[in-house]
Amino acid sequence: MILEARNIKKRYLTSPSNFLEVLKGITLSFAQGEIVAIVGQSGAGKSTLVHLLGLLDKPSEGEIFFNDVDITKYSDEQISKVRNNNIGFVFQFHHLLPEFTALENVLMPAYIAGRSNAEVIDTARTLLSDVGMVEREHHKPSELSGGEQQRVAVARALMNSPKIVFADEPSGNLDSENAEKLHNLLFDLRTKRNQTFVIVTHNKELANRADRIITLSNGLIV
């Protein structure tokens, strides 16, 4: 398994004497090359779970294993290195940097990782080609449609060849036609690159296409 969570819990302090428990003991794992949909009503804990699995936050209790190594006790610097080298993110809102072109936005994760050479640029162009955006590489986000911006965001998520990509409502801000195109793209990329995708979604069609569906309710898997 690429990633495994064992009995993870997450609570937030709401006052000096009270806390809100969002996740109440989640155990799950993800294999290489599978697409998993996480579904559930708003407030069920889906986004919190993705933030923990994607190493953007730490659980209050429990362990997270990456490639069979318990990284729960890693330092913040060690966790950042694991995240930057192995995990990609696609969110509902693309979060592209408006002052940079599509190509520059895709290159950003590599630059953050300290990589900047001709090979990196070639990789970014290949990714833009994979998502059907290579002809728009010099366009800034304001010159792209919503669907095109999200395609660039997907390419950016893949820039550092992550083993697993987390997508939180990736098509939630798109119309039905562009949503379907994005869904097809994700499955095509999985086939081509054998990467794991974990997708939080309210879209029933997308969830039903996944290899597995995990349903959350009130902080638990049901």
Closest CA to 94 of 39, 54, 153: 153
Instruction: Report if residue 67 sits inside a domain.
Output: no
Instruction: Report if residue 73 sits inside a domain.
Output: no
Contact 55, 133 (CB under 8 A): no
Instruction: Report if residue 191 sits inside a domain.
Output: yes
Q: Which stretches does DSSP call E strand in 126-186?
A: 164-168
Residue type, 112: I
Total domains in the fold of the chain = 1
- State how far the Cα of 110 lies from the Cα of 121, in Å rounded to an integer: 9
Q: What is the per-residue pLDDT across 142-175, written as a single tens digit (0 to 9) for each?
A: 999 888 888 898 888 888 888 899 988 877 777 7
What's the pLDDT band for 212 if we cut at 50, 70, 90?
very high
The token duo for 77 is 């610097």
Query: What is the per-residue pLDDT for 140?
Result: 92
Instruction: Report if residue 135 sits inside a domain.
Output: yes
What's the pLDDT band for 56 if we cut at 50, 70, 90?
confident
What's the pLDDT band for 90 if we cut at 50, 70, 90?
confident
CA angle 157, 161, 162 (to 5 degrees): 70
Instruction: Report if residue 192 sits inside a domain.
Output: yes
What b/e readout covers 21-30, taking b as 16+ CB neighbours within 10 angstroms? Answer: ebbbebebeb
Name the pTM for this structure. 0.86
Contact 133, 125 (CB under 8 A): no
Residue 117 belongs to what domain range? Answer: 34-58+85-221
Instruction: Report if residue 18 sits inside a domain.
Output: no
The token duo for 179 is 């949503």
Instruction: Report if residue 78 sits inside a domain.
Output: no
Contact 55, 8 (CB under 8 A): no
Mean predicted lDDT score pLDDT of the chain: 87
Contact 124, 103 (CB under 8 A): yes
Instruction: Report if residue 189 sits inside a domain.
Output: yes
Q: What is the per-residue pLDDT across 107-145, written as a single tens digit (0 to 9) for each?
A: 988 887 777 778 889 989 988 988 888 888 899 999 998
CATH number at residue 175: 3.40.50.300
Query: What is the per-residue pLDDT for 85?
Result: 83
How is the beta sheet containing 196-200 ordered, strand by strand?
Answer: 87-91, 164-168, 196-200, 35-39, 212-217, 220-221
